[in-house]
């Protein structure tokens, strides 16, 4: 009987821990990305440039475009456009002139300044 009671207690504790951990995991999905001042400026640039008309971008209202790839998890991706290593410098270069990097791709030159491209990069890198 004691052994059964201990087993039930152990199963109950493990179940409770699993529920607690899974709710933390779900909470992380809903939480806004960590944002520096530059990343917050990136949100403004993304909205003004209309990036969400082509991309789905977490944390950006009405950014649900289906032309380009979704930009979630950019902080963990290996490549940009399938050809560039995903580094901040390469992201800025891509955002400033994607046609120079991959001529004929669907991403237009948006006319972003270096500062604007850096702010967008900072926001995208906050998406884990």
Q: Rounded to an integer, what distance in angstroms lies between the CA atom of residue 112 and that of residue 52?
A: 15
Q: Which of 9-18, 70-79, 84-93 has the lowest mean pLDDT?
A: 9-18
Number of domains the chain is built from: 2
Say whether both 27 and 4 belong to one domain. Answer: yes
Say whether both 27 and 63 belong to one domain. Answer: no
Say whether both 105 and 52 belong to one domain. Answer: yes
Say whether both 51 and 5 belong to one domain. Answer: no
Residue pair 124/53 in contact (Cβ under 8 Å)? The answer is no
The token pair at 53 is: 């008309």
pLDDT tier at 50 (50, 70, 90 boundaries)?
A: very high
Q: Mean pLDDT across the chain, nearest whole number?
A: 82
DSSP reduced 3-state for 15: helix
Say whether both 63 and 111 belong to one domain. Answer: yes
Say whether both 70 and 53 belong to one domain. Answer: yes
pLDDT at position 32: 52
Query: What's the whole-model pTM score?
Result: 0.73
Say whether both 69 and 23 belong to one domain. Answer: no
CATH of the domain at 45: 2.60.40.420
Say whether both 44 and 86 belong to one domain. Answer: yes
Say whether both 54 and 18 belong to one domain. Answer: no
Say whether both 24 and 50 belong to one domain. Answer: no
Domain housing 10? 1-31
Question: What does the pLDDT look like over 7-47, one tens digit per residue?
Answer: 444 444 444 444 444 444 433 334 455 679 999 999 999 99
Closest Cα partner for 125 from 75, 62, 66?
A: 75
Q: Which residues of 34-72 are buried (b: 16+ CB within 10 A; e: fewer)?
A: eeeeebebbbebbeeeebbebbebbbbeebebeebbebb
pLDDT at position 33: 57
Average pLDDT over residues 94-104: 97
Say whether both 55 and 17 belong to one domain. Answer: no
Cβ neighbours around 80 below 10 Å, total: 21
């Amino acid at each position: 009987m004691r052994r059964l009671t201990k087993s039930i207690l152990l199963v109950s504790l493990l179940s409770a821990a699993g529920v607690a951990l899974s709710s933390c995991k779900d909470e992380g999905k809903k939480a806004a990305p960590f944002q520096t001042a530059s990343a917050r400026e990136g949100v403004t640039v993304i909205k003004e440039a209309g990036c969400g008309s082509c991309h789905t971008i977490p944390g950006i209202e009405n950014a649900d475009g289906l032309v380009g790839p979704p930009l979630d998890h950019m902080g963990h991706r290996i490549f940009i456009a399938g050809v560039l290593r995903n580094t901040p410098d390469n992201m800025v270069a891509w955002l400033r002139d994607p046609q120079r990097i991959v001529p004929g791709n669907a991403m237009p030159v948006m006319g972003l300044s270096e500062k604007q491209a850096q702010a967008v990069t900072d926001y995208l890198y906050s998406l884990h």
